[in-house]
Amino acid sequence: QVQLVQSESELKKPGASVKVSCKASGYIFSSYAINWVRQAPGQGLEWMGWINTKTGNPTYDQGFTGRFVFSLDTSVSTAYLQISSLKAEDTAVYYCAKLGNDGLTDDCWGQGTQVTVSS
Amino acid sequence: SSELTQDPAVSVALGQTVRITCQGDNLRSYYASWYRQRPGQAPVLVIYGKNNRPSGIPDRFSGSSSGDKASLTITGAQAEDEADYYCNFRDSSRNHVFGTGTKVTVL
């Protein structure tokens, strides 16, 4: 079945970097874009951007430029989110989600990766 | 504006009907989709397009829209429907926008 499995929780110090992985299975990875979504503690869902899994071209929403990088390793059907120069306000659960056939909705989500930034 | 506004919280008696609304200018041009997020879990798509349910979503969930408002209706709410619900649309530039979220409590 279609599945996205994300990497485990991370605890990082301010200023460090983190790389979250999202491994896809059960479908042709390059056929559907991957979206990234952030959820800060007690807050709603916030779309960060998406990556074209055919071309590797990323698109970042406002507020997620500079320190945030989306990348792929198509040989292992995996998408990555890297955040550099971590700040306390980056503490959140990060989700990857697969774009559906309609091109408008996310029909499969990863389980989420908790990233905690604390000294 | 690309904002989507939802009521923060609604409650419904077990077995009764609840409607969750989502308002935004862009909903005049785009259908909203709806996601359910149970505590500690990832979101799950429950309604998309005009009124479509993914496989596995019960038919007590339905969607509608009028003007700048979209609605998700749960007819005969069950205890397992207690969750946060988010509306969403994706515009022509492929940008997603999520609504502010509605907490549904089943009494």
A58-91 pLDDT, tens per residue?
999 999 999 999 999 999 999 999 999 999 999 9
- CA-nearest residue of chain A to B34? A105
Please state, in angstroms and rounded to a whole number, the distance separating the CA atoms of residues B63 and A53: 30
**pLDDT value at residue B1:** 53
Q: Name the residue in chain B with its Cα closest to that of A41.
A: B40
Quote the percentage of chain A above a pLDDT of 90: 92
- Write out the two tokens for B6: 């939802």
With an 8 Å Cβ cutoff, are A46 and B98 in contact?
A: yes
Helices within chain B (DSSP H only): none
Task: Quick: pLDDT tens for B39-88.
Answer: 999 999 999 999 999 999 999 999 999 999 999 999 999 999 999 999 99
Q: In terms of Cα–Cα distance, which of B22, B75, B38 is closest to B53?
A: B75
- Of A37-41, B21-25, B87-91, the one with minimum mean pLDDT is B87-91
Query: Which residue has tokens 């990766």?
Result: A113
Q: How far is CA B55 from CA A2, A19, A107, in A?
A: 13, 32, 10
Nearest CB to B90; choose among A44, A95, A104: A104
Structure-block tokens of residue B41:
């879990």
Record: contact B86-A106, CB cut-off 8 A: no
Of A20, A54, A49, A53, nearest to A35 by C-alpha is A49
Of residues A33, A95, A106, nearest to B45 (C-beta): A106
